[in-house]
Amino acid sequence: MVLEIRVNGETHTVEVSAGMPLLWVLRDVLGLTGTKFGCGQGDCGACTVLVDGRPRRSCITPVESVVGREILTIEGLAGREMHRVQKAWLDEQVVQCGACQPGMILGAVALLQEHPHPTDEQIDRALAHHLCRCGTYQRVRRAIHRAADEGER
Amino acid sequence: MKPPRGSASPGSSAPHASAPKDTGHRPASAGDGDGRLSRRRFLGLALVGGAALALAVYLPHRSRGPAASHAGASEDGPDLFVHIEPDGAVRIKVVRSEMGQGVRTGLPMIVAEELDADWSSVVVEQGDADPRYSMGTGGSQSVYRSWDLLRRAGATLRAMLVSAAAARWGVDPSLCRTHAGWVLGPGGQRLSYGELSAEAAALDLPRDVVLKDPAAFSLIGTTPPRYDGEDIVRGQAVYGEDIRVEGMRFASLERPPVPGARLRRLDDAAAREVEGVIEVLSLDVGVAVVAETTWAAFRGRRKLKLEWDEGDATWFSTAEYDRRLQDALQKKGKTVREEGDAERVLSSSDLVIEADYSVPFLAHATMLPLNCTARVDGDGAEIWAPTQFPNWARREVLKALKLPEEAVVLHVPLLGSGLGRRIYPDIVLEAVAVARGLPFPVQLVNTRADDFRHGVYRPGNAHRLRAVLDEEGFPRAWSHRIAGPSISASWWRRTPHPEAYEIQGAADLPYAVPHLRVGFEYVPVPVKLGAMRAVARVNNAFVTESFVDELAHAAGRDPLQYRLDLLERARDFEFDGDPIQPERIAAVLRLAAEKAGWGRALPAGRGLGIAVNSYGSCRTITAEVAEVEVDREGRIRVHKVWCAVDCGVVVHPDLVRAQFEGGVVFALTSVLESALSFERGRARETDFRHYPLLTIDKTPEVEVAFVPSGRAPGGIGEPPVPPLAPAVANAVFAATGRRLRSLPLGMA
Ligand code: FES
Ligand code: FES
């Protein structure tokens, strides 16, 4: 079936099978591999993208359901400059292997939209289903607080 | 684990250059275009012939232990290249896999320090597998094993640049200084390293170079940003699963469900009907579904109808295995350390303190499932493998395809966490087997369940500890029996040393005990076992450091002071070639206790626990104190962990801290959350719901303190892990008076 989807501000016409999860449309059809495959079951958060600004697990999101919506992947987050969350991530040196980080960063972006100054509890709640096998959580918290402070300026 | 000795080479492309355009086969000799190591090698360094100054560095390799032999040994080659480019860039090619531990930052920093390079002009690249080069990442030894040589490499280049400048100016080299990529002359002259590169390249390798006084280090000890960070946060970094090559398709592999199972019947009609499925291949390694997308391959695979002859391995279940372990604990087992006569002392005393401990099997659960991309055609093979040991993988491929050396090129994209799982070349061979039957490149991707089901697991095992105390309350006798499977024997069934890994951290007990015995009883399993971050020391530290705590309490002593007293009476010794130094261990314990405020009053339900581990093979000693709260329902919450570490010179303190923060989370996952069990020869937990990983809301604050040291830097990847489980278990005891002797810890 042929669909039109909006990804990072551009419209793409894609030919896909019905029910194909957005993750695989991004990765295998459009070649946008920044969105990671960690489990394919909605359990890890590595595949998180923003759909109309809200975090969604692309691995369990049928592509038909996002037609007409704005999809933002990690590749589209930075404009001419990096997003303040990305900068905070580098400043706090959060990254280890990096595999969970695109999903984690988009989760943080969505959190900051909802709570510009999240508490640790709000961070924990928002990211409790983002797994990081390298255990970068402590720095994720710090980076989110830093990004929140940057947002003020 | 111990790093196999590898041999390898840098390929011609950076790991990120795996885009469709980069698909041509390259001869394996295409190194940097300057790969002629024509001149003589001196103490691990050799000039690389060419117009610009370039040095190849051959790090020392320790090849012992099973991992060493199964990675195979061949002639060793350089591990690192340093090029001084005419434009002033210092290009360092690291032939080591990056798994997140920052190898690409730490090693180059040491070279750059002695070179007096401007860190912002340092460009770090990743090498690919090539038989001329050494490679292998594991064992937390990357920095410790390389320290002296990396320093000399930097100092050698610096000396050559200084000589070149001095010659141009007609002054004595001793009058010249260097700073941030410049040679400064006595009369205020200056020349950049880039300008001097060609002239320096014509000089001979100097024999004596002077290393800096560590007090003068200006880069080591600072925390420059980690290489790669920006690509990763932008989503541009290329991991194994992100490789996209012109014309490639995707594959999913249904493997035998139990080791040794054989396919009896296959009906692939329904699978072939699935939209996007191109081919179904029945192979020795399993049944592969090849499709236009990963999703179609997964879907097609679910439609396969398969019948297997499951073979003998179906006996293996956790319940049955636990019974066998209990029987095995009755036996003395093979003696792996003996001092005095512990069994006699124990049998003649009626005041024996005895405790049984058990630790489950674990799966690596790397963040990204295993994957490998391969193209095999008449000319050879090109492979993109996110592997910790590219040369082992490559060698296995050469064997499997019966190809000559130069016909196989193996690239190493980013791993997406290794944890030891990506040491093993199984997925690479499977990808090659699939690609072999296809006229296009193929990416084989595991599902999450595949990763759990076809793991190379961390062995679970059972332990019986017995001790007799003397009048002062110190152990007069200590016996530690381990019953369990063997990593070595899972690869070589007839190894004379099934205990090789499993006794690490048990047989090197650092405490003074006059009658000491450690025994190992091998109990086979049919599944594959392997190295996982900190390997056997995790289980053994849990057991020994918990039991020491039990003895301290039995003796009515403070657990910290008890350990210090035992160390005070102990002597230095070597175990398996690694030094055990009680005095250093005591210093680390003291620092951890001081930071945590050991002995302070705590509210009811809270406790502090302490534990220490001397990680001999990578020279790092770690003590950890956990502050734990146990609520009325018995839920355990770890609030804070203080880590004290003696890891020699701290090259990049922030990187070390990150390893400890992450190591604590990794360790706590198996302390509180997950365990792998088996039924009918199969893993039962096959997703994150049944094998949960620790999440952010349960993550304690981690604080790290360093023992000041001028020693060569020790490993930092594995040492954070072993002390955590006993520190938490000991804290739970302090909080509740209940001793938990099996992992994961549960109060229920
Ligand atoms: S890949 Fe989507 S949640 Fe894990
Ligand atoms: S950084 Fe490796 S999984 Fe999060």
pLDDT, tens digit, 9 for 90 and up, residues A57-97: 999 999 999 999 999 999 999 988 999 999 999 999 999 99
Averaged pLDDT score across all residues of chain B: 89
Contacts of B296 in chain A (CB under 8 A): 17
For residue B511, the model assigns a pLDDT of 97
Q: Ligand 2, atom 4: nearest CA belongs to which residue?
A: A132
For residue B42, the model assigns a pLDDT of 75
Ligand that lies nearest to the alpha carbon of residue A48, given by its number in the listed order: 1
Q: Is the pLDDT of residue B136 over 80?
A: no
Strands (E), B12-98: 41-42, 45-47, 54-57, 80-84, 90-94
d(CA B28, CA B9): 8
Strands (E), B600-700: 606-615, 620-630, 636-646, 678-679, 682-683
Q: Is the pLDDT of residue B264 over 90?
A: yes
Number of H helices and E strands in chain A, helices first, is 5, 5
For residue B76, the model assigns a pLDDT of 56
For residue B29, the model assigns a pLDDT of 32
Residue pair B8/B66 in contact by the 8 Å Cβ criterion: no
- Secondary structure letter of residue B190 according to DSSP: E
Residue with the bigger pLDDT between B723 and B23: it is: B723
Q: Which of A3-12, B279-288, B413-422 has the lowest mean pLDDT?
A: B413-422
Q: Look up the pTM and report it.
A: 0.91
> SS3 of B582, please?
helix
Q: Angle at Cα B176 formed by Cα B94 and Cα B190, nearest 5°?
A: 80
Strand order in the sheet with B636-646: B606-615, B620-630, B636-646, B701-706
Q: Which helix (H) or strand (E) holds B393?
A: helix B390-401
For residue B58, the model assigns a pLDDT of 82
Residue pair B208/B159 in contact by the 8 Å Cβ criterion: no
Strands B41-42 vs B80-84: parallel, antiparallel or unpaired? unpaired
Strands B636-646 vs B701-706: parallel, antiparallel or unpaired? parallel
> SS3 of A5, please?
strand
For residue B395, the model assigns a pLDDT of 92
Q: Which residues of B, range 226-265, sit inside 8 Å of A by Cβ? A: 226, 228-230, 232-239, 241-242, 244, 250
**Which residues fall within 8 angstroms of residue A134, CB to CB, at 6 or more apart?**
A96, A97, A100, B100, B367, B417, B662, B665, B666
Residue A19: closest CA among chain B residues belongs to which residue? Answer: B295
Which whole number is the average pLDDT over B317-334?
98
B396 CA distance to ligand 2 middle (Å)? 29
A100 CA distance to ligand 1 middle (Å)? 10
- CA-to-CA dists, residue B352 to A46, B334, B355, B468, B645, angstroms: 51, 22, 10, 5, 34
- Secondary structure letter of residue B45 according to DSSP: E
- CA-to-CA dists, residue B77 to A78, B8, B42, B74, B261, angstroms: 41, 7, 13, 9, 40
For residue B372, the model assigns a pLDDT of 98
- Identity of the residue in B228, B295, B655 whose CB atom sits nearest the CB atom of A21: B295
Of B660, B735, B732, B737, which is closest to residue B699 (Cα–Cα)? B660
Confidence of residue B30 (pLDDT cuts 50, 70, 90): very low
> SS3 of B443, please?
strand
Q: Is the pLDDT of residue A25 over 70?
A: yes
d(CA B579, CA B508): 10
> SS3 of A66, please?
helix
- CA-to-CA dists, residue A136 to A152, B72, B651, angstroms: 25, 34, 20
Q: How far is B334 from chain A (nearest CA, A)?
A: 36
Contacts of B693 in chain A (CB under 8 A): 131-133
**Which residues fall within 8 angstroms of residue A38, CB to CB, at 6 or more apart?**
A44, A45, A46, A47, A99, A100, A103, A131, B367, B368, B369, B448
A99 CA distance to ligand 1 middle (Å)? 11
d(CA B328, CA B499): 14
Contacts of A62 in chain B (CB under 8 A): none
To test the pocket of ligand 2, the residue of A134, A137, A138, A141 to mutate (highest count of ligand atoms within 8 Å of its CB) is: A134
Tens of pLDDT along A91-139?
999 999 999 999 999 999 999 999 999 999 999 999 999 999 999 999 9
d(CA B336, CA B12): 47
For residue B24, the model assigns a pLDDT of 31
Q: Is the pLDDT of residue B12 over 50?
A: no
Tens of pLDDT along B619-663?
899 999 999 999 999 999 999 999 999 999 999 999 899 999 999
- Which protein residues are within 6 Å of ligand 1, measured from CB? A 37-40, 42-47, 57, 59
Tens of pLDDT along B424-454?
999 999 999 999 989 999 999 999 999 999 9
Q: Angle at Cα A34 formed by Cα A31 and Cα A37, nearest 5°?
A: 90
Interface test with A, best of B16, B101, B368, B696 (most A CBs within 10 A): B696
Of B72, B53, B44, which is closest to residue B129 (Cα–Cα)? B72
Omega before B744 within 30 of 0, i.e. cis: yes
Strand order in the sheet with B90-94: B41-42, B45-47, B54-57, B80-84, B90-94, B122-126
Which whole number is the average pLDDT over B416-421?
91
Which whole number is the average pLDDT over B6-23?
28
Q: Which of A139-153, B284-298, B593-607, B723-737 has the lowest mean pLDDT?
A: A139-153
Residue A10 in tokens:
């551009």
Residue B97: closest CA among chain A residues belongs to which residue? Answer: A97
For residue B23, the model assigns a pLDDT of 29
Cα-Cα end-to-end distance for chain A: 47
For residue B49, the model assigns a pLDDT of 81
Q: How far is A69 from chain B (nearest CA, A)?
A: 21
Residue pair B637/B736 in contact by the 8 Å Cβ criterion: no
For residue B576, the model assigns a pLDDT of 86
Residue with the bigger pLDDT between B664 and B81: it is: B664
d(CA A110, CA B527): 43
Interface test with B, best of A37, A71, A130 (most B CBs within 10 A): A37
Strand order in the sheet with B182-184: B177-179, B182-184, B190-192
Confidence of residue B148 (pLDDT cuts 50, 70, 90): confident
Of B258, B300, B302, B263, which is closest to residue B282 (Cα–Cα)? B263
Strands B442-445 vs B249-254: parallel, antiparallel or unpaired? parallel
Q: Please state, for a pLDDT cut of 90, what percent of chain B lies above it.
A: 77
Partner-chain contact A98 B664, CB within 8 Å: no
For residue B229, the model assigns a pLDDT of 82
DSSP for B518-552 reads EEEEE---SS-B---TTHHHHHHHHHHHHHHHHHH
- Which protein residues are within 6 Å of ligand 2, measured from CB? A 95-101, 132-134, 136; B 100, 367, 417
Which whole number is the average pLDDT over B717-746?
96
Residue pair B702/B643 in contact by the 8 Å Cβ criterion: yes
For residue B27, the model assigns a pLDDT of 30
Confidence of residue B378 (pLDDT cuts 50, 70, 90): confident
Burial of A13 (0-12, 13-18, 19+ CB in 10 A): exposed
Residue pair B623/B643 in contact by the 8 Å Cβ criterion: yes
Residue A20: closest CA among chain B residues belongs to which residue? Answer: B295
d(CA B141, CA B149): 14
Q: Tell me the H-state helices in B88-127.
A: 103-115
